[in-house]
């Protein structure tokens, strides 16, 4: 219902509306408003919040509108809260007061940041984005750096989950020259954790079982978060079985029970165990298991000297390489099996107290040396495989697991062999004869030359001492020359027996006559001389000449004796004739001597 006493004419014509003194009223209204200066920072009150804007009253005739994005660092902003604003314009085209909270923060931010560092103050910041090595945080309008290592006490796997979040921080470092600010969220957590650690460490006891969470996995163990303090389960304490990497047993963020094995209160180190919560597998091993039993298992570790076989989780046995095959040749375990193979083996030794077991797989097949005398009797002939050379002979393999030695002296009847490589090579086949069996040492004594008859029985009659034969010098040594006499037989001529008739010395490749000076069927050795072939002939001629002269002289002496005997019986008249005959005979003897 209208007020009948209201003066509508005065209102429409602006007459006496303000009690007859409009100017005075306007003055009082203006005095009630704050005196706003563009470019200054003032404090205002939040009077409204929408999805896009924050309405702030600074006591001016109109309220200011600020984009809500400028308050991202403070998601808990509420109506009635005091905020600092920067007056950009007292009135825009629409007559609206223009304010900025961001610029106000920036003007005072550097002082605020330094104050926060000095007072160890907890501040809020808005994580804007990721950057290399960490995050960019809006703190008082300044872009501060949050290193990845300072986000949390545990390793961060997903940095993006922190973007667009508002968190509490501590300023940990400021570079005044470059105006760089480093903040940390981890520092806040560590303060809380330190207090928790002290409390937890004070209550720890060896053997205590606690629940923890897998915090980090390394190649050497697993770090467990016990609710404010970390402990380490070494890889050897994860399982009674063999573990190649902890990831085979646990996963990140997995919760599990662990037992405290040891701890150092001063260094805050806690050693934990997981396998200790279950009985040792050796204790659960079948009590009826004994030496000689056949077991199945998986190869879990390989070395050159053997393989470890897991027959049950945490129960392993060693198969030494010597127990993998009856073959005696030195080989690596990798030649027989590899990690992951399922194998059968025979228990050779079993020590439950020491928790040790040795296994063998060759025992699953018959020993090739059983009945060796029947299969390879002395004198039997076989074909063997050359396995190895030594200076004294050849090691061969007749069959798998059956080895033999051919001594170098049993390779040839006639040729002087310095090294086995002269007649064969490794991997080649060679015919042999069994000469002897050493069952205890599992070795056969073999021969190669025995495949043929001993030619030295024939050579004894063919090369008698003083017989001369043509030979070719095939090799020179410091002591003399090796001479080939044909028929795959050699002799040896000492150096002093190599002088030729012209004074020179025989050389390699020359074919010359040689005289046999020594012959030994037992040692199979023939000694030769070329020098003797011409020296002995010359000596024979000289001896023949001397013998002839001696015979003639002896005949003359006999005649003289005969004449002298005759003289004693002759007359004086005959003496003269005899004297003449004697003179002629003596003259003839003198002539012969002169010749």
What's the pLDDT tens digit per position in 154-194? Answer: 777 788 888 988 888 989 898 888 878 999 998 888 777 77
Distances from the Cα of 242 to the Cαs of 301, 341, 534, in angstroms? 9, 15, 85
CA distance 93 to 165: 36
Percentage of the chain beyond pLDDT 70 is 85
- Please tell me the predicted confidence (pLDDT) of residue 582: 67
Regions of the chain with pLDDT less than 70: 1-36, 92-93, 265-268, 328-330, 457, 552-556, 558-560, 563-595
Number of C-beta neighbours around residue 174 at 10 A: 19
Q: Retrieve residue 324's tokens.
A: 């993998």
- Please tell me the predicted confidence (pLDDT) of residue 586: 67
169-177 long-range contacts, Cβ below 8 Å, gap at least 24?
169/122, 169/123, 169/124, 169/125, 169/137, 169/139, 169/144, 170/116, 170/120, 170/121, 170/122, 170/123, 171/113, 171/116, 171/117, 171/121, 171/123, 171/139, 171/144, 172/117, 173/117, 174/113, 174/114, 174/117
Report the phi/psi class of residue 580: left, alpha or beta, with left for phi > 0 and alpha for psi in -120 to 50: alpha
- CATH for 8-106, options being 3.30.1180.20, 2.60.120.200, 2.40.50.140, 3.40.50.1700: 2.40.50.140
Quick one: how far is CA 99 from the chain centroid? 70
Q: Do domains 8-106 and 372-451 have the same CATH topology?
A: yes
Residues 6+ apart with CB under 8 A from 350: 289, 290, 291, 357
Which class in CATH covers the domain with range 120-189? mainly beta
Residues shown for the chain: 595
- Please tell me the predicted confidence (pLDDT) of residue 578: 60
CA distance 404 to 58: 110
Q: Retrieve residue 390's tokens.
A: 């030594």
Report pTM: 0.42
Q: Domain residues of the chain, as ranges?
A: 8-106, 120-189, 204-277, 281-364, 372-451, 456-529, 536-594
What CATH number does the domain located at 372-451 have?
2.40.50.140
Place of tokens 């470059």: 178
CA distance 482 to 273: 78
Element (H, E) at 428: none
Residues 6+ apart with CB under 8 A from 219: 235, 245, 246
Quick one: how far is CA 342 from the chain centroid? 25
Q: Domain 456-529 is of which CATH architecture?
A: Beta Barrel (2.40)
Q: Retrieve residue 305's tokens.
A: 């000297």
Q: What is the DSSP string of 112-126?
A: HHHHHHHTT-EEEEE
Q: Topology of 204-277 in CATH?
A: OB fold (Dihydrolipoamide Acetyltransferase, E2P) (2.40.50)
- Please tell me the predicted confidence (pLDDT) of residue 29: 42
Write the pLDDT tens digit of every residue in 509-568.
898 999 998 988 777 788 999 888 888 878 877 777 777 777 766 666 766 677 666 655
- Please tell me the predicted confidence (pLDDT) of residue 153: 76
Q: Topology of 281-364 in CATH?
A: OB fold (Dihydrolipoamide Acetyltransferase, E2P) (2.40.50)
- Please tell me the predicted confidence (pLDDT) of residue 538: 81
CA distance 213 to 218: 15
CA distance 259 to 517: 93
Residue 65 half-sphere exposure, CB side, CA atoms within 13 Å? 9
CA distance 241 to 312: 8
SS3 category, 590: helix
Residues 6+ apart with CB under 8 A from 488: 412, 414, 415
CA distance 406 to 434: 10
């Amino acid at each position: 219902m209208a007020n009948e006493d209201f003066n509508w004419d005065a209102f429409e014509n602006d007459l006496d509306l303000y009690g007859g003194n409009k100017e005075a009223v306007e003055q009082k209204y203006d005095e009630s408003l704050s005196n706003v200066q563009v470019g200054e920072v003032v404090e205002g009150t939040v009077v409204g919040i929408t999805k896009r804007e924050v309405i702030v009253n600074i006591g001016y005739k109109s309220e200011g509108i600020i984009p809500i994005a400028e308050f991202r660092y403070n998601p808990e902003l509420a109506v009635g809260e005091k905020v600092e604003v920067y007056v950009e314009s007292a009135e825009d085209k629409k007559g609206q007061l223009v304010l900025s909270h961001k610029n106000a923060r920036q003007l005072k931010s550097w002082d605020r940041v330094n104050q926060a560092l000095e007072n160890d103050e907890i501040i809020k910041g808005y994580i804007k984005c990721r950057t290399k090595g960490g995050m960019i945080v809006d703190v008082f309008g300044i872009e501060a750096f949050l290193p990845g290592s300072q986000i949390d006490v545990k390793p961060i796997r997903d940095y993006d989950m922190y973007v667009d979040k508002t968190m509490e921080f501590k300023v940990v470092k400021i570079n005044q020259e470059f105006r760089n600010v480093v903040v940390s969220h981890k520092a806040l957590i560590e303060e809380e954790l330190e207090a928790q650690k002290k409390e937890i460490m004070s209550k720890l006891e060896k053997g205590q079982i606690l629940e923890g969470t897998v915090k980090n996995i390394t190649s050497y163990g697993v770090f467990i978060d016990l609710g404010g303090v970390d402990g380490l389960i070494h890889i050897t304490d994860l399982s009674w079985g063999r573990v190649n990497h902890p990831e085979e047993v646990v996963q990140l963020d997995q919760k599990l029970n662990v037992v405290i094995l040891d701890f150092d209160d001063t260094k805050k180190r806690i050693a934990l165990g997981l396998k200790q919560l279950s009985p040792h597998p050796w204790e659960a091993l079948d009590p009826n298991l004994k030496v000689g039993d056949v077991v199945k298992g998986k190869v879990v570790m390989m070395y050159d000297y053997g393989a470890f076989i897991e027959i049950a989780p945490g129960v392993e046995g060693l198969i030494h390489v010597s127990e993998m095959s009856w073959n005696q040749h030195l080989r690596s375990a990798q030649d027989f099996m590899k990690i992951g193979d399922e194998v059968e083996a025979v228990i050779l030794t079993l020590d439950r107290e020491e928790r040790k077991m040795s296994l063998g797989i060759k025992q699953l097949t018959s020993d090739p040396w059983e009945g060796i005398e029947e299969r390879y009797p002395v004198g039997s002939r076989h074909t063997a495989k050359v396995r190895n050379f030594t200076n004294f002979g050849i090691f061969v393999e007749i069959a798998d697991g059956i080895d033999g030695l051919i001594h170098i002296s049993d390779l040839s009847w006639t040729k002087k062999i310095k090294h086995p490589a002269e007649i064969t090579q490794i991997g080649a086949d060679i015919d042999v004869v069994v000469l002897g069996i050493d069952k205890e040492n599992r070795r056969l004594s073999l021969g190669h030359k025995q495949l043929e008859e001993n030619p030295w029985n024939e050579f004894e009659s063919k090369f008698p001492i003083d017989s001369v034969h043509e030979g070719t010098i095939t090799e020179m040594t410091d002591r003399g020359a090796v001479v080939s006499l044909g028929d795959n037989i050699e002799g040896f001529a000492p150096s002093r027996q190599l002088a030729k008739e012209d004074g020179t010395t025989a050389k390699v490749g020359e074919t010359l006559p040689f005289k046999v000076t020594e012959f030994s069927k037992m040692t199979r050795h023939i000694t030769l001389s070329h020098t003797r072939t011409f020296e002995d002939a010359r000596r024979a001629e000289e001896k023949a000449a001397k013998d002839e002269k001696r015979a003639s002289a002896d005949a003359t002496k006999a005649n003289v004796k005969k004449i002298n005997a005759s003289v004693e019986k002759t007359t004086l008249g005959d003496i003269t004739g005899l004297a003449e005959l004697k003179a002629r005979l003596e003259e003839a003897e003198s002539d012969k001597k002169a010749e």
